[in-house]
């Protein structure tokens, strides 16, 4: 077996050309030694320019993985990448990268993860120091960082986007990056920080670090897991860690031993007074004696059934106090509960449309619900509407009756079974009784029809349209 | 007072707020602008304090003067803490100076309540507005809002911020009445409801045309753990309601920790850090693992076991659900295996399409075999039934008793 020594060159692109050529010549991974000796390729220059004989198609996922792995400091990365490429391109393992637990893939993913983490830590722990301004007044900043991997080129784009309007340089032993507002430039690594001047802001930053630390919660392991010690020497705040840690136990026991402060009386203050008014629970009087505004305020404090506990608020009726038409629905839904207004969700929009077609003015009508709080059950990530029980409908009935008495409309529309149960009693079937019902104790004309949410739930478009027509027809019985 | 002295007071005053996220903003950067800043990726934690908390945003109060008397708070009106106030210019220049040095991801601004909710909110909004409009600052901004402030002001805050939040602090009104008499659960929920509506409307606007619309993308809240008698079940039920009803991005749990100005109403003790950690774990189970809060805790057992992680505790209580066959089981059942996280569940689903899963696959995914073996089946592993049925399983996971140290 003949071993080939191949120089991968400085990075991903040079390795890629060499790997393409080797695949083209059918050289298996076991016969390639990837050696970066800094002396140039053993292929010789004429080889480097040799035409690539094959068309290699690989997934973007491989390119992305390989770009990250190629920044790793481990010398074995090139052989690993070539082995994976060979398996995908030559052995036909097209889905190889989906098998995260394959030995090669797991190793490559681990390397890529290390590199990505180092890039992330670079974005986090680079500390710029101000180095003055250029002749146009642009601020100039410098930073010194010591990464474990060759990730400056992958990491620098982030800084160019974030700090596009300042000039900056990041110096590292593994390559440097420079930005003057036009394009990113890279230069070879330097042994040590070329500009050692501290920044006056560092002291203020340390003040912040000292003050934001809570001495009652010492969690050094958690800190070091995310901010390993190797970064500390280049972080201006790190010099405080030891002192803050040492003094924390005393500070905490000092606080616990501190004498408790007495509670001072509430100062006279207009805003605090207003808060107390807001929090005051309105007295629930006989609803029949109250105005429509008072009913709305009292219903907020209603505790006749447990539905209030998981709702945002009670949703009272809405509309002019002298409305000639009153509409009663079932209960607020998700959106109504958030906005505190009836019929503002999808069912409300459908009702609007139907009323328009029936020649009715929604703004002239008083619109309310048989039950004032949103009843729901958890489902997936949402609150799923649930039908109110007979007990809940009955508990809420005094409020509906009070609204009806105050508005005393000529016409009343009952939408769906819950409204019917509330005002007409048990055992009413919408399908049998829809249209005009005889209930003179409620209003001169009472219409019973379906609830618009029923229309929303119909899956079949044809049927939806037919039902919508029927709904509009019912509504227009008012006129 | 120097800026440095003010910062010492007003950062100290802000440190009891646990929120730290700087992710999930609308993607943007400073290219083509006049200032600095970018956002929209994963958040970046720029430093960590010895308390284990990340430092991502400059977290300050505009002032620590406050009309309210919340007994868990160092800034309450009955406290003798030194008071200070930033001018808007000071808060702005600190933010920009820190940002340019890459110390921070952006600004978290809150305030004690002075004069009235609206007056306070106006001051806070003014800082964010100037940062955005005068300095073209494109970094992250999180604004604390007050439920009693006018909805118009809260909406203005949402126009300049990436995230807004209202702190619930305690999970029930009776706890609030005792420890934070000015706060009201109902008003907080109503404000959160209005915010959710605005956030969704803005997201819809962005989807259907106004791509450049600047608007916050989420809201969060915080509750204090260990200041009142609330059980873990109370916390989780409340969190579950808040996530569902108001689509909160995060509920932060903050262990009540000693403060320098203790209140006679609320005795101090070491903060319940383990409990806080368990609540976070349970919260994750609800949000990412499909657990219902009623599965995590029961009326008989309303508090989380401090010695076991809640996922493992559930598995030990529900041994009939195991072992789960990794080759055939649906995603939601694999998610319930203790010791396997969401990312690895999704990797397993991909891997099993191409090959049969063996224990060595799990090792390469860096899953701890010790933890998962009793609960799953692979091509080369069937757990012994007796293992799942025996008390030894529980003993296997209970923390080892530790030798006491001579002191």
What is the per-residue DSSP string for A236-252? TTGGGHHHHHHHHHHHH
- How many angstroms away from the CA of B278 is the closest CA of chain A? 15
Residue B291, class by beta-carbon neighbours within 10 Å (0-12 exposed, 13-18 middle, 19+ buried)? buried
Taking the C-alpha atoms of residue A171 and residue A175, their distance in angstroms, rounded to an integer, is 7
H helices of B324-390, in order, are 331-334, 342-354, 359-364, 369-372, 385-389
Are the beta carbons of B28 and B41 closer than 8 angstroms? no
Answer whether A391's CB lies under 8 Å from A371's CB: no
Q: Are strands A325-329 and A366-369 parallel, antiparallel or unpaired?
A: parallel
**Inside any domain, residue B283:** no
Q: Which residues of B touch A258 (CB under 8 A)?
A: 260-262, 268
Q: Which whole number is the average pLDDT over B154-167?
A: 97
Residues in chain B closer than 8 A to A227 (CB atoms): 47-48
Nearest CA to A145 among A208, A192, A214? A192
Whether residue B148 sits in one domain with residue B26: yes
Asked if B83 contacts B5 with a C-beta cutoff of 8 angstroms, the reply is no
Cross-chain residue pair B364–A100, CB shorter than 8 Å: yes
Residue to mutate among B20, B27, B49, B245, with most A CBs inside 10 A, is B49
Cα–Cα distance for residue pair B291/B336, rounded to 1 Å: 9
Identify the domain boundary among B182, B210, B238.
B210
The b/e string for A196-217 (b: 16+ C-beta within 10 A; e otherwise) is eeebebbebbbbbbbbbbbbbb
Percent of chain B with pLDDT over 70: 97
- Give the residue from B46, B50, B186, B349 with the most A CB atoms within 10 Å of its CB, the best one to mutate: B50
Residues whose CB falls within 8 Å of the CB of residue B133, separated by 6 or more in sequence, listed in order: none
My answer on whether B183 and B317 are in the same domain is no
**Exposed/middle/buried for residue B398 (C-beta within 10 Å: 0-12, 13-18, 19+):** exposed
- Domain boundary among the residues B183, B210, B237 is at B210
Q: Could you tell me if B337 and B202 lie in one domain? A: no
> How far are the Cα atoms of A65, A144, B64, B66, B259 from residue B80, in angstroms, in the given order?
57, 43, 11, 12, 12
- Does residue B181 sit in the same domain as residue B73? yes
Contact (CB<8Å) B67/A272: yes
Residue A45 confidence (pLDDT): 42
Residue B379 structure tokens? 């091509």
8 Å CB contact between A5 and A33: yes
Q: How far apart are CA A342 and CA A336, in angstroms?
A: 6
Quote the pLDDT of residue A2. Answer: 77
Q: Total structural domains in chain B? A: 2
CB-CB neighbors (< 8 A) of B71 in chain A: 263
Q: Flag whether pLDDT at B402 surpasses 90.
A: no
Q: What is the dihedral of CA A10, A13, A19, A22, to 10 degrees?
A: -90
Determine the Cα–Cα distance for residues A469 and A475; give it in Å rounded to an integer: 10
For residues B110 and B146, is the Cβ–Cβ distance under 8 A?
no
Q: How far apart are CA B360 and CA B385, in angstroms?
A: 22
Q: For residue range A222-278, what is the model confidence (pLDDT) as tens digits?
A: 999 999 999 999 999 999 999 999 999 999 999 999 999 999 999 999 999 999 999
Residue numbers in A near B12 (CB within 8 A): 211-212
Residue B240 lies in a domain: no
Output the average pLDDT for chain B: 95
Domain contains B284: no
B103 contacts in A (CB within 8 Å)? Answer: 127, 205, 208
Beta bridge partners of B378: B381
Q: Is B27 in the same domain as B155?
A: yes
Domain coverage including residue B384: 310-406
A257-294: b (≥16 Cβ within 10 Å) or e? eeeebeeeeeeeeebbeebeeebeeeeeeebeebebee
User: Across the interface, do A162 and B29 touch by the CB < 8 Å criterion?
Assistant: yes
Nearest CA in chain A to B196: A338
| pLDDT < 50 stretches in chain A | 39-49
Q: Which residue of B has its CA nearest to A205?
A: B98
Residue that has been written with the tokens 């619900």 in this structure: A369
Searching chain A, which residue's CA lies closest to the CA of residue B5?
A207
Residue B264 domain-assigned (yes or no): no
Does the beta-carbon distance from B101 to A201 stay under 8 Å?
Answer: yes
C-alpha to C-alpha distance for B44 and A290, rounded to whole angstroms: 56
Other CB atoms within 10 Å distance of the CB of residue A381: 11
Q: Which residues of A touch B102 (CB under 8 A)?
A: 126-128, 143
In a mutational test of the B interface, the residue from A117, A120, A131, A208 whose CB has the highest number of chain B CBs within 10 Å is A208
User: What number of residues does chain A have?
Assistant: 479
Provide the sign of the torsion angle of the four alpha carbons B164, B170, B172, B177, taken in this order: negative
Q: For the residues B160-179, what does the mean pLDDT come to?
A: 97
- Contact B12/A279, CB-based, under 8 Å? no
Q: Which of A87, A100, A107, A267 to mutate to test the interface with B (most CBs of B within 10 A)?
A: A100
B210, B231, B263 — which closes off a domain?
A: B210
Instruction: Please state, in angstroms and rounded to a whole number, the distance separating the CA atoms of residues B129 and B156.
Output: 9
Which of A244, A335, A378 is facing B50, going by the closest CB pair?
Answer: A244
Beta partners for residue B203, in sequence order? none
Encoded tokens for B350: 């991909």
Q: Is B373 among the domain residues? A: yes
Residue A229 three-state SS: helix
Find all residues with CB under 8 Å of A65, minimum gap 6, and list them.
Answer: A97, A108, A109, A112
Same domain, B30 and B158: yes
- The radius of gyration of chain B from alpha carbons, rounded to an integer in Å, stands at 24
Asked if the peptide bond before residue B323 counts as cis, ω within 30 degrees of 0, the response is yes
- The distance of A286 to chain B (nearest Cα, Å) reads 24
**Does residue B163 belong to any structural domain of this protein?**
yes
Q: Shortest CA distance to A221 belongs to which of B83, B95, B96, B50?
A: B50
**Is the pLDDT reported for residue B35 higher than 50?**
yes
Q: Looking at residue A289, what is its pLDDT? A: 76
Residues 6 or more apart whose CB falls under 8 angstroms from that of A287 comprise A295, A298, A398, A399, A401, A402
CATH number assigned to the domain comprising residue B64:
3.20.20.70
Candidate from A125, A162, A335 with C-beta closest to B38: A162
Q: Where are the beta strands (DSSP E) in B93-200?
A: 106-110, 140-144, 163-165
Q: Are B57 and B142 in contact (CB under 8 A)?
A: yes
Contact B49 A213 (CB under 8 A): yes
pLDDT score for A39: 47
Q: Please state, in angstroms and rounded to a whole number, the distance separating the CA atoms of residues B250 and B4.
A: 32
- B300-312 confidence digits (pLDDT tens): 999 999 999 999 9
Please, are residues B213 and B205 in contact by the beta-carbon 8 Å criterion? yes
pLDDT at residue B188 tops 50: yes
Helix axes A77-89, A60-69, angle to 10 degrees: 170
CA distance to A254, A286, A287, A288, A424, per residue, from A398 (Å): 58, 9, 7, 8, 14
Please tell me the predicted confidence (pLDDT) of residue B141. 98
CB contact (8 A) between residue B53 and residue A217? yes
A378 Cβ contact list (under 8 Å, min separation 6): A384, B240, B244, B292
CB contact under 8 A, B36 and A163: yes
Q: What is the mean pLDDT of residues B105-127?
A: 98
Same domain, B182 and B316: no
* B228 lies in some domain: no
Q: Write out the two tokens for B24.
A: 């999930």
Query: Tell me: the pLDDT tens digits for B335-379?
Result: 999 999 999 999 999 999 999 999 999 999 999 999 999 999 999
Residue A407, CA atoms < 13 Å, CB-side half-sphere: 31
Written as one string, the DSSP assignment of B164-176 is: EE---BSSSHHHH
- Under DSSP, is residue A280 helix (H, G, I), strand (E, B) or coil? coil
Query: Residue B13: helix, strand or coil by DSSP?
Result: coil
Same domain, residue pair B77 and B203: yes
- Looking at the structure, tell me whether residues B27 and B147 fall in a common domain: yes
Q: Are B289 and B336 in contact (CB under 8 A)?
A: yes
Q: Give the whole-angstrom CA distance, residue A189 versus residue A146.
A: 10
Q: Which residues have CB under 8 Å from A111's CB, separation 6+?
A: A68, A69, A72, A74, A77, A80
- If you count residue pairs, one on A and one on B, with CB atoms under 8 Å apart, how many are there? 263
Quick check: A204 and B97 CB within 8 A?
A: yes
CA B94: distance to chain centroid? 25
Which residues of chain A are within 8 Å of residue B45 when distances are taken between CB atoms? 124, 226
For residue B399, pLDDT over 80 is answered with: no
CA distance A188 to A165: 24
Q: Which of A181, A198, A212, A282 to mutate to test the interface with B (most CBs of B within 10 A)?
A: A212
Partners of A208 on chain B (C-beta within 8 Å) are 7, 11, 58, 98, 103
R_g of chain A computed on alpha carbons = 37
Q: How far is B264 from chain A (nearest CA, A)?
A: 5
Domain identity same for B15 and B130:
yes
A124 chain-B contacts, CB cut-off 8 A? 44-47
pLDDT of amino acid A42: 39
Q: Measured between alpha carbons, how far is residue A308 from residues A371, A418, B39, B109, B130 in Å?
A: 11, 18, 40, 33, 41
């Amino acid at each position: 077996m003949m071993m080939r020594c191949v120089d991968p060159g400085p990075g991903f692109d040079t390795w890629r050309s060499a790997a393409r050529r080797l695949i083209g010549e059918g050289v298996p991974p076991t016969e390639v030694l990837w050696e970066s000796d800094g002396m140039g390729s053993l292929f010789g220059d004429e080889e480097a320019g040799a035409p690539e004989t094959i068309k290699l198609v690989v997934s973007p996922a491989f390119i992305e993985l390989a770009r990250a792995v190629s920044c790793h400091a481990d010398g074995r990365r090139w052989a690993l990448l070539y082995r994976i490429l060979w398996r995908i391109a030559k052995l036909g393992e097209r889905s190889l990268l989906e098998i995260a637990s394959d030995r090669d893939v797991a190793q490559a993913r681990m390397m890529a993860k290390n590199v990505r983490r180092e890039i992330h830590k670079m974005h986090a722990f680079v500390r710029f120091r101000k180095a003055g301004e250029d002749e146009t007044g642009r601020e100039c900043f410098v930073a010194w960082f010591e990464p474990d991997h060759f990730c400056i080129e992958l990491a620098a784009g982030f800084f160019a986007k974030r700090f596009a309007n300042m000039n900056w340089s990041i110096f590292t032993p593994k390559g440097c990056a420079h930005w003057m507002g036009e394009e990113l430039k890279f230069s070879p690594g330097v042994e040590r920080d070329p500009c050692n001047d501290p920044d006056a802001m560092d002291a203020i930053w340390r003040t912040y670090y000292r003050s934001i630390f809570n001495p009652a919660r010492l969690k050094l392991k958690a800190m070091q897991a995310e901010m390993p010690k190797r970064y500390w020497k280049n972080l201006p705040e790190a010099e405080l860690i030891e002192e803050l840690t040492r003094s924390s136990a005393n500070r905490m026991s000092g606080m616990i031993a501190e004498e408790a402060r007495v509670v001072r009386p509430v100062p006279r203050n207009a805003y605090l007074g207003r808060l107390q008014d807001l929090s005051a629970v309105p007295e629930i009087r006989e609803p029949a004696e109250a105005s429509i505004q008072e009913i709305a305020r009292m219903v907020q404090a209603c505790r006749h059934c447990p539905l209030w506990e998981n709702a945002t608020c009670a949703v009272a009726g809405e509309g002019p106090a002298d409305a000639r038409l009153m509409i009663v629905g079932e209960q607020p839904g998700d959106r109504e509960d958030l906005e505190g207004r009836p019929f503002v969700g999808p069912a409300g929009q459908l009702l609007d449309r139907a009323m328009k077609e029936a020649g009715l003015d929604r703004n002239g009508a008083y619109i309310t619900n048989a039950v004032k709080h949103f009843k729901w059950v958890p489902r997936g990530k949402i609150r799923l509407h649930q039908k109110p029980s007979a007990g809940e409908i009955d508990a809420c009935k005094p409020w509906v009756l009070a609204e009806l008495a105050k508005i005393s409309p000529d016409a009343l529309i009952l939408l769906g079974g819950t409204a019917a149960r509330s005002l007409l009693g048990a055992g009413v079937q919408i399908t049998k009784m829809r249209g005009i019902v005889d209930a003179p104790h409620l209003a001169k004309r009472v219409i019973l029809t379906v609830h618009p949410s029923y229309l929303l739930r119909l899956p079949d478009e044809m049927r939806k349209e037919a039902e919508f027509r029927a709904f509009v027809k019912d509504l227009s019985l008012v006129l | 007072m120097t800026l440095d002295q003010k910062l010492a007071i007003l950062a100290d005053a802000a440190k009891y707020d646990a929120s730290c996220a700087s992710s999930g903003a609308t993607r943007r950067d400073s290219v083509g602008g006049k200032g600095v800043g970018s956002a929209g990726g994963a958040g970046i934690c720029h430093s960590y304090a010895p308390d284990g908390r990340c430092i991502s945003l400059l977290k300050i109060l505009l002032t620590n003067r406050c009309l309210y008397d919340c007994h868990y708070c160092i800034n309450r009106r009955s406290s003798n803490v030194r008071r200070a106030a930033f001018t808007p210019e000071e808060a702005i220049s600190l933010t920009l100076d820190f940002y340019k040095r890459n110390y921070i991801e952006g600004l978290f601004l809150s305030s004690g309540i002075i004069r009235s909710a609206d007056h306070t909110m106006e001051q806070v909004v003014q800082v964010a507005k100037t940062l955005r409009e005068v300095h073209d600052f494109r970094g992250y901004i999180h604004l604390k809002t007050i439920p009693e402030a006018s909805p118009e002001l809260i909406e203005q805050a949402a126009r300049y911020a990436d995230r807004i939040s209202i702190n619930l602090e305690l999970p029930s009104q009776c706890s609030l009445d005792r420890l934070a008499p000015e706060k009201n659960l109902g008003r907080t929920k109503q404000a959160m409801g209005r915010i959710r509506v605005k956030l969704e409307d803005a997201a819809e606007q962005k989807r259907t045309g106004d791509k450049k619309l600047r608007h916050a993308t989420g809201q969060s809240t915080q509750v204090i753990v260990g200041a009142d008698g609330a059980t873990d079940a109370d916390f989780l039920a409340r969190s579950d309601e808040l996530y569902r009803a108001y689509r909160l991005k995060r509920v932060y749990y903050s262990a009540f920790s000693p403060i320098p100005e203790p209140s006679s109403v609320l005795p101090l003790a070491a903060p319940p850090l383990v409990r806080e950690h368990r609540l976070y774990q349970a919260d994750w189970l609800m949000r990412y693992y499909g657990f219902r809060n009623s599965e995590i805790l029961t009326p008989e057992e309303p508090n989380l076991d401090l010695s076991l992680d809640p996922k493992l505790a559930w598995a030990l209580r529900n041994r009939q659900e195991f072992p789960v066959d990794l080759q055939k089981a649906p995603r939601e059942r694999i998610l319930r295996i203790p010791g396997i996280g969401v990312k690895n569940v999704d990797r397993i689903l991909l891997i099993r399409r191409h090959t049969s899963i063996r224990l060595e696959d799990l090792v390469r995914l860096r899953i701890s075999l010790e933890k998962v073996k009793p609960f799953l089946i692979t091509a080369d592993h069937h757990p012994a039934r007796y293992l799942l049925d025996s008390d030894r399983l529980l003993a296997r996971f209970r923390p080892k008793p530790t030798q006491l140290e001579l002191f």
